[in-house]
Amino acid sequence: MAARVSIQLSWNVSNVGYPRVPVRGALETPVRRGRPPAASRDDVLDVALRRYLRGERIDVRAIAAELGLGRSTIYRWFGSREGLVGEVLVRAAEPVLAEARAAAGGRGATALLDTFDRINRAFAAAPALRAFLEQERDALRILTSSVGVVQPRMVEKVTAMIEDEVRAGAFDPPVEPPTLGYAIVRLAEAFLYNDTEGIRGDVERLREVEAALLGVQA
């Protein structure tokens, strides 16, 4: 009898705080009910970016159908189709800028010129950007409008690169970094894009002008 009581007490102490769940129920995988999670804003960007990189037009109707969303949801997230396209262009440009910055040599103005030159050459050679300029009626306005998505974000990113060199004590800009960043971006727009031919791609001349603006030998 004492042995039975000892065994029972031992079981009770060792199981304090653990619910008594049948073995079958503990091993079963619970069944999830309800609708699957809806697509997110990032999902829309991912699909749109994939279409852009394949040289396809960014079609809001097709993207909405693919993700099971309403077009009104996409417009609420991005404001308009142009807003979505602008975000896609910026997302496509981000790795180009990062790679150019990481690969650039030197310090100060030399590093900046090398960075900007690498970016310009990458844009001029990009098949997706070329296809976009050929297919999209308002491509130049989307790329270069000061009230759009692309140009202000590009100015912001270029300005940040300039400010990095200023903080490092390696560059003394001829004007304030935001003004210089804006000038660099506007120069690139003028030398890279053409109203009638899509990509002008005059990268050699662009490098010379940027070098003069930065105060360094081309």
pLDDT tens-digit series, residues 107-129: 999 999 999 999 999 999 999 99
Distances (CA, A) of 49 to 5, 44, 137, 154: 70, 8, 19, 17
How many Cβ atoms from other residues are within 10 Å of residue 1's Cβ?
5
pLDDT digits (tens, 9 = 90+) for 174-202: 999 999 999 999 999 999 998 666 678 89
pTM for this one? 0.81
Distance of CA 129 to the CA centre of its chain: 15
Contact between 197 and 203 under an 8 Å Cβ cutoff? The reply is no
CATH at residue 108: 1.10.357
* Containing structural domain, residue 164: 81-214
* Within a domain: 53: no
Please, where are the H alpha helices in the chain?
2-14, 23-27, 41-53, 60-67, 71-78, 81-103, 108-125, 127-135, 139-144, 150-167, 177-192, 203-214
Dist CA 155 CA 215 (whole Å)? 19
Amino acid in position 22: P
State how many domains the chain has: 1
* Within a domain: 8: no
pLDDT exceeds 50 at position 15: no
Residue 56 burial (10 A CB sphere; 0-12, 13-18, 19+): middle
* Within a domain: 72: no
Q: What is the DSSP letter of 40?
A: -
- Average pLDDT for the chain: 86
- Percent of the chain residues topping a pLDDT of 90: 78
In the structure, what pLDDT confidence band is assigned to residue 44 with cuts at 50, 70 and 90? very high
In the structure, what pLDDT confidence band is assigned to residue 1 with cuts at 50, 70 and 90? very low
* Within a domain: 28: no
- Work out the angle at residue 77's Cα, subtended by the Cα atoms of residues 95 and 86, and round it to the nearest 5 degrees: 40
Contacts of 122 (CB under 8 A, 6+ apart): 96, 99, 100
* Within a domain: 197: yes
pLDDT at 21: 41
* Within a domain: 111: yes
The residue assigned the tokens 């650039």 is 104
